[in-house]
Structure 1
Amino acid sequence: MSKTILITGASTGIGKLTAIYFAEKGWNVSATMRTTEKGRGLLKYSNLKVFALDVMDETSISQAIDATISAFGTIDVLFNNAGYGLVGAFEAMSQVQIKKQFDTNVFGVMNVTKVILPHFRAKKSGMIINTTSMGGLITFPLYSVYHSTKWALEGFMESLQFELKQFNIKVKNIEPGAIKTEFENAIDFVSTKDYDNYTIQAHKNMLDTYKTAPTGEVVAKKVWQAANDNTYRLRYAVGGQGPILLFMRWLLPLSWFTKMVSSQVEKGIKY
């Protein structure tokens, strides 16, 4: 019997590519998104269905989960992938923007996870995979609020795994570095004239890293690896510089690592 994965944020980028990858591998795929019209191109796969799901709407989450179980009989893996990127000068960010960042990247993940847990507990098995980021363990300039959500998600899932192990529910975090998808074009960049001397150049330097970054297929393959790994391994770094940077952060004193980041991200900035 084919396994089933439910993916949030499947209309574009990593979520869409993962949906295609799993469908082509023979899994049943529930590709969820806020606007289902964006998923029309996925419907060519007979083992893939598109459902509406808003991570901030519990009714929407429950309906998508119920529809997936009705269509495929069960859910084996939840892939929390929906995300939003807020970048720039913290002082210039509005409360609305900051709330959206936490709603999507933290509370949305909590919402979907909480609703699916009764299903996993009842069948005494399940897996929760999350798109966190190497930015959930290290930091870069301008990403203070984004990083805070990813660090929160890493901590939440690292703790949650203890209480779920008794039900044979596994937790796995996928930690991409820079990945070439639509994400970098959808980043919400915030600045103000008081910070422009720093933010504009630093943001450009960060975006330059995407030019040579691997495409989202490498993440889809890593999700596949995690979904088929029956161990309780928590973290899976992926992407050209992601695993290397995480290793360097572990290896070096923080002051050395910070200087290394500054030398790259702050290139061309004059005070």
Structure 2
Amino acid sequence: MQKTIFITGTSSGLGKATAKLFQSKGWNVIATMRKPEVETELTQLENVTVLKLDIANPQELTKTIDYVLSNYEIDVVLNNAGYGLVGPLEAFTDEQIKTQIETNLMGVIRITKGFTPYFRERKKGVLINITSIFGLIGFPTCSIYSATKFAVDGFSESMGYELAQFGVQVKVVAPGGIQTDFAGRSLDGAQHKAYQKLMDKVQEGYSPEQIANYSKPEDIAYVIYEAATDGKDQLRYVAGKDANTLYSERTEIGAEAQVQKIKSGFVF
């Protein structure tokens, strides 16, 4: 029987790559995005339905979920939509902080809540939330972004406990750097002259040479597919060579030792 996945944030990058992968594997894909009217690729694929959804709009979110659950049987929900807010905390406006939390955290919570009764009653289903290696390990200029991703990680672990009794799995995929336009269209930021040296140092990680070493979105999409289909009772899937290196280091030397190591690279 053909399975169906509901995905947020499919207009580009990881979301689009994941939609295409699942479609190629014979799945029915519900691909949501803020501006479906400009989408030209996914709309041409068989068994892909493109729907409008801004996850920061609670009314639209509820309407879309109601429509989907009235017309489809959903097996997997992938919370992928989000963006990065990068810069020193002092530089951010309250509005920027609120918008980051509303999108990266509240969007995930609302979608999860919207699908939970459906999965609970069916006694099966998989909820997959995309976080980041910076949802497991902090990093300078990522304070608010990491706050949302750490929160999604903790939220996911807690929901996994709540839903286990109903046969519903909650999983997290935590990628490292991805070769997408995340550093452009999906990034917001702010500058502060007191932190210029720090920001210049961090920016070295976004050079063309460094980005060339990041994972391709298709590679991360395969990790998502694995999480959706492997049947394992596993919470976290760290994805990408750089992410696995950082996470393994934390496991091997301990969190405190790694914190000191990272900090030493940003003291001028």
Match for 2:67: what amino acid?
A: A
Match for 2:49: what amino acid?
A: K
Cα distance in 1 for partners of 2:245, 2:18 equals 23
Q: Which residue of 2 aligns with 1:241?
A: 242
Moved beyond 6 Å, runs of 4+: none
Cα distance in 2 for partners of 1:193, 1:96 equals 21
Which runs of structure 2 are paired with 1:39-188 in the superposition (5 Å)? Answer: 39-71=39-71, 73-186=72-185, 187-188=187-188
Match for 1:123: what amino acid?
A: R
Q: Secondary structure at the match of 2:184?
A: helix
What TM-score comes out, normalization by structure 2 length? 0.93
Q: Which residue of 2 aligns with 1:5?
A: 5
CA apart distance, 1:53: 1.1
Cα deviation, 1:27-83, whole Å, max 9, x if unaligned, reads: 000000111123331011110010011212233223323433455x30100000001
Cα distance in 1 for partners of 2:174, 2:121 equals 29
- Gaps of at least 5 residues in structure 1 are none
Answer whether contact 1:184 1:210 (CA < 8 A) is retained: no
Cα distance in 1 for partners of 2:180, 2:211 equals 9
Cα distance in 2 for partners of 1:156, 1:64 equals 23
Q: Is 1:214 aligned to 2:193, yes or no?
A: no
Cα distance in 1 for partners of 2:237, 2:140 equals 23
Answer whether contact 2:86 2:145 (CA < 8 A) is retained: yes
Match for 1:165: what amino acid?
A: A
Q: Which residue of 1 aligns with 2:35?
A: 35
Q: Secondary structure at the match of 1:241?
A: helix
- Tell me the percent identity: 40
Cα distance in 2 for partners of 1:252, 1:53 equals 42
Cα distance in 2 for partners of 1:122, 1:137 equals 32
Cα deviation, 1:106-154, whole Å, max 9, x if unaligned, reads: 1110011111112112211111001011111111111111111111111
Cα distance in 1 for partners of 2:192, 2:56 equals 30
Cα deviation, 1:83-104, whole Å, max 9, x if unaligned, reads: 1100111111100111111111
CA apart distance, 1:262: 4.4
Cα deviation, 1:135-183, whole Å, max 9, x if unaligned, reads: 1111111111111111111111111111101111100100101111111
- Gaps of at least 5 residues in structure 2 are none
What TM-score comes out, normalization by structure 1 length? 0.92
Q: Secondary structure at the match of 1:99?
A: helix
Match for 2:161: what amino acid?
A: F
Q: Is 1:194 aligned to 2:194, yes or no?
A: yes
Cα distance in 2 for partners of 1:198, 1:234 equals 34
| Matched length | 265
Match for 2:29: what amino acid?
A: V
- Could you say what the CA RMSD is over the residues aligned between the two structures, in angstroms? 1.7
Match for 2:242: what amino acid?
A: Q
Cα distance in 2 for partners of 1:204, 1:58 equals 34
Range with greater deviation from structure 2 (74-83 or 177-186):
177-186
